[in-house]
Homo-oligomer: A and B are copies of this chain.
Amino acid sequence: MIVAIKGAGRMARGIGTRALAGGHEVHLLDDDPERAERLAAELAPHAAIAQVQAVADLGDADLVVVATPYPAGRDYVAGLGDLVNGAVVVDISNPVDFTTMDGLRTPPGTSAAEEMAAASPGARVVKAFNTTFAKTLETGEVAGRPLDVFLAGDDTRAKEMVADLVESGGMRPIDAGPLRRARELEAFMFLNLTLQDRLGLNQESAIKILS
């Protein structure tokens, strides 16, 4: 697949690394083209020739990962208008209120992912990667086990494509149900974020369902 990633920060690097490990082509898009170029150069050692490049637009991407913070990601997708009609769009955001660290910026009874879908009704929005820290995505593992990547979405085929991306990158996709389950995924990752300092985990931890 051609995986377009909007953003060139730590999550873009993590997801880009996994996508390249899975043999996909990665296109990086950033408001600052030089930033995208720098990340492409940084990821190049993980890639086969020409497998990663900075690009100017979505082009023929199969899947668009929006790796910019809430609510900029939602607004970016809405601003694309008809360009995202039918597109598989991955919302990885955590709408945490980082000033208080006491809750989410989204109202109770909804989620950032549902807000994105409402603002861009033509897009096939899938929630994924919001519970995985950037550092753990560099290897796709935690404590020697594959990361769990929870997926929520209303479009089965779109969710399968994201599951393929996850699995090909060496991680375990977990289908958590419809897009509204993003409420619970965003809630728990907010809680997990509040624990990182307290437990001295430094965002190198991961939420896993063990059995």
Q: Which residues of B contact A205 (CB under 8 A)?
A: 209-211
Contact B191 A201 (CB under 8 A): no
In this assembly, does A49 line the interface, its C-beta being within 8 Å of a C-beta of chain B? no
The oligomer's copy count stands at 2
Contact with B along A178-201 (1 / 0, CB 8 A): 001101110110111011001101
Give residues of chain A (35-94) contacting chain B, Cβ–Cβ below 8 Å. Answer: none
One of B145, B191, B194, B209 near A199 (C-beta < 8 A): B209
Bound Cα distance from A5 to B208, whole angstroms? 29
Q: How far is the CB of A122 from chain B (nearest CB, A)?
A: 25
**Closest chain B residue, CB of each to CB of A192:** B209
Check: A97 CB closer than 8 A to any chain B CB: no
- Could you tell me the distance between the alpha carbons of A187 and B201 in the complex, rounded to whole angstroms? 23
A175 to B199, CA, bound (A): 9
